[in-house]
Amino acid sequence: MKRILLYLKPFRLRMLVGFIIKVTGTMAELVLPYILTHILENVIVEQNVGKIILYGGVMVFFGIVACLGNIIANRMAARVTTNFSKEMRKELFSKTLYLSSADTDSFTIPSLESRITTDTYNVHNFIGMMQRMGVRAPILLIGGISLSLIMDSALALVMIATLPIIFVTVYGISRRGVPLYSRVQKSADNMVRVAREDTQGIRVIKALSKNEHENHRYDKVNSELSKQEKRAGTIMGIVNPAMTLLMNLGIAGVVAVAAFRVSKGLSTPATVIAFMQYFTLISMAMMSLSRMFVMYTKCAASANRIAEVLDTPDKYDITEDSRKDDGIHVSYDNVSFSYLGKKDNLKNISVSLKKGERLGIIGATGSGKSTFIKLLLRFYEPHSGEIRINGKSIKSYSRDQLTSMFGFAIQNDFIYADTIEENIRFGRDIPKENIISAAKTAQAHDFISAIPDGYSHMLSSKGTNLSGGQKQRVLIARAIASKPEILILDDSSSALDYKTDANLRKALDENLSGTTIITVAQRVSSVKNCDHIIVIDNGVVIGQGKHDDLLETCAEYREISESQMGGAFVE
């Protein structure tokens, strides 16, 4: 909670003003029963209408002050809570974007989504309630007890005797609530995961008639969430009934003692009436505090989950490297990497590229091709060896310096709901003519121009109103629009026909002659003209060289090439 409450610091002054207004309104509310007692005991007996109207006016005045004070304070609290939540969500989202890929894998995407949405909502609710009820309830409780002690200490002691029992009961139950709601949120993560998977794969689900199967899968995680919520709700649901029971027992005790004291002339009916009003206020305050305890358990569980993300250290360390450019643009020097630290997913990879050269990477699914790319982009850190760009370790570049060198297109990259032009521009300062030029190189200009709105055509989320090949060409245009120093095409032309793929490669050679291009592909035709080709199998380079050389020296490459002949190569 301490980590989360730091976001309230910028709003201290506004919260202080709201606190003062809230205190004023609550104190005015507390005065009302005391004035009523004075009227009943001292004013009415004088039968002075003027005095009655005067004190009645005083009560109306304090009632208006109480009402306006609470309204103004609550509105200020709402603004503070909204701004607080906005800043918290903003930093949490930003932190999520900058998490290392290993940390993202550890948290999981559904869990991060849940933390940004459900968890921040729980914290938002508690902070708002804390400002509204967290100020008012203690004042009503302490003020009500103090005034009731002044009015009739014997009756007040009967009421006070129930408060420690209530506090211990609420505190004991609430302590159990934090771990319970932590488990609820973990179950919610699983439900979000399944819902996310099904929404992304809805077309496949329908095509394979697996609706019922996915319904059962969702029911399983939904039932687990309901089970955890039921358990937490059952435990925390004891709070209000227990408090009501204890408060009613206290009221019964007060009524019994009050009847005895009035019959003996030790108290007056007017005092009992006022006292019962105070008891009602105190009961409301205790109920508010119990609600806050319940909400605190949710908030504390959510705050811990949010803090886990915010406190995750940035693993993007930058080291000094005084080495100068050695003429090699990109190099892997005996690089090895493992996702789980048990078996190497890449082992002893070494390759060098001069500026403007083309590297093709080919291999079976799961062989480590994409991992090769992720290490170059520093999504993960190699466990041994070194990767260098322009002679310097990639660890010597800042995040912005490194990423600014690259254009990157992958097979299933994302498209957001905006125009084709903005999807290619992607928030960068790229003029329209460069966007059109990139689209022409990516073989996308013709189909874009054929659309009535052209580059202003609105795309749906994930580009569902484009074909697979059209979407890939838009993504390739996005990758080359900034004229990158290094272009990475990770299986990004798999949906293109052979002729379009050949035209794309020809256009890349003509228009990006100074750009170093790394192509990951399943097709030999996509890499056969590269200056260097590496064949990866189970994380190990089993063949390296040019196309003709590999046909003679690498049996696996030759087998792939022969299986794709028969008109597969279109130049």
Q: Give the DSSP per-residue string, 363-409.
A: E-TTSSHHHHHHHHTTSS--SEEEEEETTEEGGGS-HHHHHTTEEEE
Residues 203-245 pLDDT 10s: 677 776 778 888 888 888 888 888 888 887 777 777 777 777 8
Q: Which residue from 87, 83, 63 is spatially nearest to 18, judged by alpha carbons? A: 83
C-alpha to C-alpha distances, 402 to 369, 380, 551, nearest whole angstrom: 20, 14, 35
Cα distance between residue 47 and residue 43, in whole Å: 7
pLDDT of residue 330: 92
pLDDT at 386 over 90: yes
What pLDDT shows up at residue 570? 42
Q: Choose which CATH entry (3.20.20.80, 3.40.50.880, 3.40.50.10470, 3.40.50.300) describes domain 330-563.
A: 3.40.50.300
Instruction: Kindly report, residue by residue over 347-366, the tens digit of the pLDDT.
Output: 999 999 999 999 999 988 88
Kindly report, residue by residue over 394-426, the tens digit of the pLDDT. Answer: 999 998 899 889 998 887 778 888 899 999 998
Could you give the 3-state DSSP secondary structure of residue 410?
Answer: strand
- pTM of the prediction? 0.71
Say how far apart CA 38 and CA 58 lie, in whole Å. Answer: 12
Whether residue 175 has pLDDT greater than 80: no
Nearest to 246 by CA among 143, 170, 135: 170
Residue 545, Cβ neighbours under 10 Å: how many?
16
Q: What is the CATH number of domain 2-310?
A: 1.20.1560.10
What would the pLDDT profile of 285-319 be if each residue is shown by its tens digit? 877 777 777 778 778 888 888 999 999 988 888 88
What pLDDT is attached to residue 269? Answer: 77
Q: Does residue 487 have a pLDDT over 50?
A: yes
pLDDT higher than 50, residue 177: yes
Tell me which of 214 and 438 has the higher pLDDT: 438
Top-ranked range on mean pLDDT: pick from 38-52, 146-160, 182-196, 524-538: 524-538
Say if residue 331's pLDDT is above 90: yes
User: Would you state the pLDDT for residue 191?
Assistant: 81
Bigger pLDDT: 565 or 522?
Answer: 522
Measured CA to CA, the distance from residue 526 to residue 498 in angstroms comes to 9
Residue 571 has what pLDDT? 45
Residues 177-201 have a mean pLDDT of: 76
Question: What is the rounded average pLDDT of the residues 505-532?
Answer: 89
Terminal-residue alpha carbon distance, the chain: 63
Check pLDDT > 60 for residue 566. no
Range of weakest confidence among 197-206, 261-270, 325-334, 460-469: 197-206
Written as one letter, the residue type at 266 is L
Angle between helices 120-151 and 49-98 (to 10 degrees): 150
Task: Output the DSSP codes for 133-176.
Answer: HHHHHHHHHHHHHHHHHHH-HHHHHHHHHHHHHHHHHHHHHHHH
Is the pLDDT at 439 greater than 90? The verdict is yes
Average pLDDT, the chain: 84
Asked whether the predicted pLDDT for residue 246 surpasses 90, the reply is no
Give the 3-state secondary structure of residue 327.
coil
- What tokens were used for 561? 């090439």
- pLDDT at site 565: 59
- Count of C-beta atoms within a 10 Å radius of residue 196: 13
What's residue 197's pLDDT? 73
Average pLDDT over residues 49-64: 86
Across 83-104, average pLDDT: 88
pLDDT at position 540: 92
Please name the amino acid found at residue 219: D
Q: What is the residue-wise DSSP string for 31-77? A: HHHHHHHHIIIIIGGGT-HHHHHHHHHHHHHHHHHHHHHHHHHHHHH
Angstrom distance (rounded) from CA 171 to CA 175: 6
Percent of the chain with pLDDT over 90: 22
CA distance 214 to 512: 46
Lowest mean pLDDT: which of 86-90, 242-246, 448-452, 555-559?
242-246
Same fold flag, 2-310 and 330-563: no
pLDDT at 437 over 70: yes
Q: What is the pLDDT of residue 436?
A: 93
Where are the alpha helices (H) located in 428-546, listed in sequence order? 432-441, 445-450, 468-480, 498-511
Pairwise pLDDT comparison (246 vs 19), residue with the higher score:
19
- pLDDT of res. 322: 80
H or E stretch at 359: strand 358-363
- Residue 418 bridge partners (DSSP): none
Q: Which residues contact 478 (CB under 8 A, 6 or more apart)?
A: 407, 409, 413, 423, 424, 425, 426, 438
Please tell me the predicted confidence (pLDDT) of residue 518. 93
What lies within 8 Å, CB to CB, of 349 at 6+ separation is 332, 334, 335, 336, 372, 385, 541
Residue 469 to residue 492: CA distance in whole angstroms: 9
Give DSSP secondary structure letters for 107-131. H-HHHHHHIIIIIHHHHHHHHHHHH
Does the pLDDT at position 569 exceed 80? no
Residue 567 clears pLDDT 50, i.e. is over it = no
Reported confidence tier of residue 516, pLDDT bands at 50, 70, 90: very high
List the structure tokens of 429.
């300062």
For residue 279, what pLDDT is reported?
A: 75
| Bridge partners for 540 per DSSP | 537
β-pairing, 516-521 vs 532-537, is unpaired
Query: How far is it, in rounded angstroms, from Cα 348 to Cα 372?
Result: 11
CB atoms within 10 A of CB 138: 14
Q: How far is CA 433 from the centre of its chain?
A: 36
Q: What region, left, alpha or beta, does residue 391 occupy, with left being phi > 0 and alpha being psi -120 to 50 degrees?
A: left
Domain residue limits, the chain = 2-310, 330-563
